[in-house]
Amino acid sequence: MEDEYKNECDKIDEVMLPGFRFHPTDEELVGFYLTRKIQQKPLSVELIKQLDIYKYDPWDLPKLAITGEKEWYFYCPRDRKYRNSARPNRVTGAGFWKATGTDRPIYSSEGSKCIGLKKSLVFYKGRAAKGMKTDWMMHEFRLPSDSVSHNKRYLDKNIPANEAWAICRIFKKANSTTRALSHSWVSPVLDTTTTTTTTTRT
């Protein structure tokens, strides 16, 4: 009887709750979800899929995500572009992701401690020298270098455990044409002018 009850509970855990929307803050992403991933503490309900997103182009990712309507989240391994380099490989089949600016620190709401880093990237079609910018965007979240004890094992001799994983938030921003159309629509106004028809009698 207990086994049947446990099986039913497991089934409930595997079903996404109706009305549930996954909209975590930056602090929650790094302070909870990414930290637990690196500490190898799985959740009872899988909300973020583990996926090497660079094996896919961005327009293929939404259908692979577990949750999300306009934003899609993934745990992604941070592979190195070169064996002895700290620079990650962000090339896909149809193009590449390019960083825009420097990493932004994410601070804990309980103090001034930096608990994570956020990088913004844009997807370009083609190769580096002749890439064409698209509307696909990514926020890459990772932990600071000193956030995990140095006693933690290294998943790769060049990659500390706390730098082996990132959470990637994929989304598509509205292009200029879409924004222009959304702002140019005007409600029709009824014409209140009365037209008088004059009939000429002969």
For residue 168, CA distances in Å to 18, 52, 83, 158 come to 25, 10, 22, 21
Q: What is the mean pLDDT of residues 1-5?
A: 50
Q: What is the pLDDT of residue 176?
A: 58
pLDDT of 151 strictly over 80: no
Range of the domain at 139: 21-176
Residue 106 domain flag: yes
- Asked if residue 27 is part of any domain, the answer here is yes
Does the residue 102 lie in any domain?
yes
Closest CA to 28 of 43, 13, 14: 43
* Tally of domains in the chain: 1
Q: Is 184 among the domain residues?
A: no
Number of neighbouring beta carbons within 10 Å of residue 24: 18
111 pLDDT higher than 70:
yes
Whole-angstrom distance, CA of residue 113 vs CA of residue 104: 13
pLDDT surpasses 50 at 157: no
Query: Is the pTM of the predicted complex or chain greater than 0.85?
Result: no
Enumerate the β-bridge partners of residue 105: 117
Look-up of token digits 């995500």:
65
The CATH number assigned to the domain holding 34 equals 2.170.150.80
Q: What are phi and psi of 201, to 5 degrees?
A: -90, 140
pLDDT (0 to 100) of residue 192? 45
**Residue 167 to residues 12, 48, 76, 134, Cα–Cα distance (Å):** 26, 8, 6, 21
pLDDT above 50: residue 11? no
Dihedrals φ, ψ of 31, to 5°? -75, -25
- For 29, half-sphere exposure in the C-beta direction (CA atoms, 13 angstrom radius) is 24
pLDDT at 15: 58
Summarised one tens digit per residue, pLDDT across range 22-69 is: 999 999 999 999 999 999 999 888 999 999 999 999 999 999 999 888
108 has pLDDT over 60: yes
Question: Within a 10 A sphere around the Cβ of 98, how many other Cβ atoms?
Answer: 15
Residue 160: pLDDT band by 50, 70, 90 thresholds? Answer: low
With respect to residue 150, please indicate whether it lies within any of the assigned structural domains: yes
